[in-house]
Structure 1
Amino acid sequence: MVEVERVLTVRHPLDEVVRYLADFSHAEMWDPGTVTCERLGGGTVSVGTEWRNVSEFRGRRTELRYRLVRWVPDRLTFVGRNKTATSTDDMRFEEHAGVTRLTYRAHVDFHGLARLAGPLLQREFERLGDQVSERLPRAVDHALGTPPPQGDRRL
């Protein structure tokens, strides 16, 4: 098992941030490991929507099928599975004066023999978590428009 948590600030209203991140295909923009992330099926994004995610980690590509399992106003949860691992991306949101605080937690459970490698991979997942902290706010700004400067607002 590997778990990484980061708290980020995004200078956009909570509902806009949640709506953008609910479409997991946008992971191509903010997740440094994601090579492609293709939505499966049509219609609007809702609980049950699935994506085919191809990621690269340590020079190897792997495919997971992700499903949106929770979408409430202040939380999104995606679960991705393949024969080697189950990956859960959980995002919790709080808004203060039009600025959104996002607590992002990635949890990976490895299956079979891969379970032995889990503890050895923690450092690399921490590095990926740092990269998500940098890329995700920029991806949101790019998609929603760069907000005007608000001074040094801390949550």
Structure 2
Amino acid sequence: MITVERSLFVALPVGDLLAYLEDFGRTEEWDPGTVRCVRIDEGPVRPGATWRNTSSFRGRTTELVYRLETREPAHLVFVGENSKVTATDDLLFEAQSATVTRLTYRASLRFKGLARLATPLLRAEFERLADQVMARLPSVLAERLP
């Protein structure tokens, strides 16, 4: 399994940041690996909501269906799956003040079958992708949220 974790401070209250990130379809805006992410069910965003995420990695395109597993006032967990991998995105929100939130983003990938053999070779690339997400997210939030 590969797990990468990053933290950053965002000039937004916890509630505003969580409201933005709970819609996994917005990963197109802040995750450089996401090509497309579309909600495949209807209704309010709540545990059980699902999205079809198309990502590009190492020149290949892959699809995972993500499900919102946990939605708490300071915690979101999304789990994506296909035949080769289970991906978990775990986001923790900690108020530093009324207008600043510390976001801790942990992404875990558990490869299945023969794909597990590639795990040690892919760690550095996932670390780099996590760095790109953390570099891009603040500017996207500044553009999208007041």
TM bin, normalised by shorter chain, reads over 0.9
Superposed displacement of residue 9, structure 1: 1.1
Aligned-pair Cα RMSD in Å? 0.7
The share of aligned pairs that are identical, in percent, is: 54
Q: Normalization by structure 1: what TM-score?
A: 0.92
SS of corresponding position for 2:88: strand
Spell out the pairing of 1:41-120 with structure 2 (5 A cutoff): 41-97=41-97, 98-120=99-121
SS of corresponding position for 2:43: coil
What are the Cα deviations for residues 25-50 of structure 1, in whole angstroms up to 9, with x where unaligned? 00001111000000012111111000
Which residue does 1:132 correspond to in 2? Answer: 133
Q: Aligned partners of 1:112, 1:141: CA distance in 2, in Å?
A: 41
Superposed displacement of residue 135, structure 1: 1.1
Q: Aligned partners of 2:38, 2:26: CA distance in 1, in Å?
A: 9
Count of residues in Structure 1 that have an aligned counterpart in Structure 2 = 145
SS of corresponding position for 1:32: coil
Superposed displacement of residue 141, structure 1: 1.6
What 5-or-longer segments of structure 1 have no aligned partner? 146-155
2:107 counterpart letter in structure 1: A
Superposed displacement of residue 138, structure 1: 1.6
Which 4+ residue blocks in structure 1 deviate beyond 4 angstroms?
none
